[in-house]
Structure 1
Amino acid sequence: MKKIVSVSSKSELAAFIDFPHELYKDDANYVPELFIAQRDLLTKHPFHKHNKLQCFLAYDGDKIVGRIAAILNNAHNEYNKANDGFWGFFDCINDQETANLLFNTAAKWLKDQEIDGKFIGPVNFSTNEACGLLIKGFDTPPVLMFTYNFPYYADLIEKAGFHKQIDLIGWHWEGQNYDDKSVKLLDALQERLKRSNVYIRKVNLKDFKNETIKLREVYNSAWDKNTGFVPLTDDEFDWLAKDLKLILDPDFALVAEQDGNVVGFAVALPDYNNIFQKIKKGRLLPTGLFKLLFGKKSIRGIRIYALGVVEGYRKLGIEAVLYGTIIKEYKRKGYDYADAGWTLENNTMINKAIEAIKGDPYKTYRIYEKAI
C-alpha cells in the first residue's frame, strides 16, 4: 500500500536528501549532491524568507519509492504577473502510480496555497537554481550544477499530463575542438573595446562584497528577458556568490567595465563533479572532505556557468572577448573539456554564437507544465 508522508523532521529530511543515492546506486553516471549543501538549500536558503516549500516522500510499505517538493515561488508570480506553482527535487521508481501520487499531492498542496495557474517543473527552486529534466545526453555524467535523471522520467511526467514548456540546451567542447577565432582576435577586440573605454578584468576577490553588488545588478538585468526568470534578491545573490567563491578560479571570473560601471561578466567553474562523483552519499565526513581537498588535480574540465552583457552594450564584442579569454585560459591550463549553458532553445542569437565556435548541443533539458 503506497502512502505519502509530508517531510517535517530532521530524519525525514535526511531520508528525502538520501533517496536518490539508493535509486541510482547502479548508475555509473550518477553524481551525488553534497548532503550539507542540499540540507541548507532546503532549510536555510534566503528563498525561504519570502516563499514556501513542502517536501513529500512516497512509501510502499516501509520502503521509500519517490520524492517531490511543492514550491510556492511568490517572487516568480509577482514578477511574471502569474499565479503558478512549481515542483522540483523529483525522483521516483519506474512506476506511474507512484509518480501520479507524488504529482497529485504536490498539486493539492499548491491549491491549498490558492494557486490556480500552471504547474511547472522540474525547478529547484527557480531557473536560477538547478532545473530541467534531462531528455537527451544520458551517456555522460552531468557537469557541475546540472541535473541528471533516468530516461524513464519523461514518460512518467508526460503520462501524468504534463507537456513541454521549453527546452534548455547544454553545450560541450572536447579537447581542443573549438573555433579559436576569438582567441586569435583577442588583442584586436580588446583594443576596439578600449576605444569605448570598456575593459575586461578579473573579479576582485579581495573586495568580493562590493563586487557582488555590481554583479547582481548585471545578472538581474542581463537575464531578465529569459523565460521563467526571477530576479535574485540581495540575500539570494549573496548566498550564490558565497557558494561560488568556494570553488572559483579567479582566472575564469571576468568582469567587463566601462568608467567604473560593470556592464557584463563571465564565470566558468572547474567541474567539481569529477570529485563529487567519488564522495559516497555526498557525505564530507569522514573521508569525503579529503577527497574534496586533495582531488582538485582530478578535475578535467570547466563549466561556463554564466556570461551576460547588459542591454545597450551587446554586439560591441564584449561577449567575444569574454569567451576568448576563457578559451585562452582553458587551453593554458590543459583541461580536457568545457561545457556551457544552459541556454534557452529560443535564444537564437546566443545559440548561433556558440555554434559558431563549434559548441556541440549534446544535452537537452526540458521544463514541463500543465494546468494545476
Structure 2
Amino acid sequence: MITIVTVKSKKELASFIDFPHDLYKDDPYYVPELFIAQRDLLTKHPFHKHNTVQPFLAYDGDKIVGRIAAILNNGHNEYSHVNDGFFGFFDCINDTNVSNVLFETVTKWLKEKGVTGKLLGPTNFSTNEPCGLLIEGFDSSPFLMNTYNFAYYANLVENFGFTKDVDLIGWHWEGQAYDDKSVRLLNSLEERLKRNDIIIRKINLKNFKEEAEKLREVYNSAWDKNTGFVPLTNEEYDYLAKDLKLILDPDFAIVAEQRGKIVAFGLALPDYNDIFKKIKRGRLLPTGIFKLLFGKKSITGIRIYALGVIEDYRKMGIEACLYGTIIKQYKAKGYKHAEAGWTLENNDMMNRAIEAIKGDPYKKYRLYQKAI
C-alpha cells in the first residue's frame, strides 16, 4: 500500500532531496543536484514569500518510491489571469500506481487552495527555473540547470491524463561543427550597430550590482510573450543574479548597450555539471568542495543559458553579434561542445537563428497540462 508523507521536518526534506540519488544510482547520465542548493531552493528562495510549495514523499512500507511538490504560483496566476497550479520535483519508480497517488495528492492539495483551472508541469518552480520532462535525448547527461529523467516518466504522466502543453528544444554543437558566419561578420555587424549608438561589451564584474540592475528590464521584457513566463520579483531576480555571479565567466556575459541603456544580453555558462557528476549525492563535504574548487579546468562544455533582446531592438543584427561573440570565445577557450536552450518550439525567429548556425535539436522537454 502506498502512503503519502507531507514533508515538514528537516529529516523529511533531506529524504526528499536525496531520493533521486538512489533512484538513478545506476544511470551513467544522472547528475546529482548540490544538496545545499536544493535545500535553499526549497526553503529560503524568495519565491516562498509570495507563493506556496508543498513537497510530498510516497512510501511503500518503509521505502521511498516517489516524490513530488505541489506549487501554487500566485505570480503566474496574477500575470496570466488564470487560476492554475503546478507540480514539480517529480521523481518516481516505474509504477503508475505510485505516480497516480502522487498526482492525486497534488491535485487535492491545489483544490483545497482554491485552484480551479489546470495542473501544469513539471516546473521547479516556474519556467524561470529548471522545467520540462525530458522526452527525447536520453543518451547524454543534462547541461547545467536542465532537467533529466528516465524515459518511462512520460508514460507515468500521460497515464494520469496529462496532455502536451508545449515542447522545449535543447540545441547542441559538437566541436567546431557550427556555422561561423556570425563570427566572420562580427566586425561589420558591430560597426553597423555603432551607427545607432549601440555597442557590444562584456559585463563589468567589478560593478556587478549596477550591471545586474540594468539587466533587470531586459530579463523581464525579452521573454514576456513566452508560454509560462512570469516576471521575477526584485528579490527573485537578485537571488538569481547572485547565484549566476558565482559561476559565470565574464567572457561569456555579453550585453548590447545604447547610450547607457542595456537593450540585450547573451549569457553562456561553463557546464558545471561536468564537476557535479563527480560529487557523490551532491554533498560538498568532506571532499566535494575540493572537486568544485579545483575541477573547473575539467569542464568541457558551455550552455548558452539566455539570449534576450528588447522587442524594439530585434532584427537589427544584435542577436548575431551576441552569438558571434560567444562562439568566438568558445573557440578561443578550446571547449569541446556547447548547448543552447531551451527554446520554445513555437519561437520561430530564435529557432531559425539557431538552425542557421547549425544547431542540432538533440533534446526535447515537454510541459504538460490537465484540467483540475
What's the TM-score bracket when you normalise by the shorter of the two chains? Answer: over 0.9
Q: Secondary structure at the match of 1:340?
A: strand
Counterparts of 2:289 and 2:208 in 1: how far apart (Å)? 25
Shift of 1:313: 0.4
Shift of 1:212: 1.1
Q: Secondary structure at the match of 1:368?
A: strand
Match of 2:120 in 1: 120
Shift of 1:60: 0.2
Match of 2:296 in 1: 296
1:270-296 CA-to-partner distances (Å, cap 9, x unmatched) read: 000000000000000000000001111
Counterparts of 2:182 and 2:352 in 1: how far apart (Å)? 15
Q: Secondary structure at the match of 1:106?
A: helix
Letter in 2 for 1:371: A
Match of 1:371 in 2: 371
Shift of 1:209: 1.0
Shift of 1:214: 1.1
Q: Which runs of 5+ in 1 are unaligned?
A: none
Letter in 2 for 1:145: M
Counterparts of 1:245 and 1:217 in 2: how far apart (Å)? 18
Q: What aligned pairs does 1:6-21 form with structure 2 within 5 A after superposition?
A: 6-21=6-21
Match of 1:281 in 2: 281
Q: What aligned pairs does 1:1-372 form with structure 2 within 5 A after superposition?
A: 1-372=1-372
Counterparts of 1:367 and 1:166 in 2: how far apart (Å)? 5
Q: Secondary structure at the match of 1:312?
A: helix
Letter in 1 for 2:234: D
Counterparts of 1:235 and 1:255 in 2: how far apart (Å)? 22
Shift of 1:2: 1.1
Counterparts of 1:208 and 1:194 in 2: how far apart (Å)? 24
Counterparts of 2:204 and 2:108 in 1: how far apart (Å)? 47
Shift of 1:297: 1.0
Shift of 1:94: 0.3
Q: Secondary structure at the match of 1:125?
A: coil
Shift of 1:206: 1.1
Q: Secondary structure at the match of 2:311?
A: coil
Q: State the number of aligned residues.
A: 372
Q: Secondary structure at the match of 2:87?
A: strand
Runs of 4 or more off by more than 4 Å in structure 1? none
Q: Which runs of 5+ in 2 are unaligned?
A: none
TM-score, normalising length: structure 1: 1.00
Cα RMSD (Å) of the superposition?
Answer: 0.4
Counterparts of 2:298 and 2:19 in 1: how far apart (Å)? 27
Letter in 2 for 1:19: F
Letter in 2 for 1:14: A
Shift of 1:370: 0.4
Letter in 2 for 1:346: N
Q: Secondary structure at the match of 2:4?
A: strand
TM-score, normalising length: structure 2: 1.00
Shift of 1:191: 0.3
1:60-87 CA-to-partner distances (Å, cap 9, x unmatched) read: 0000000000000000000000000000
Shift of 1:215: 0.8
Shift of 1:183: 0.3
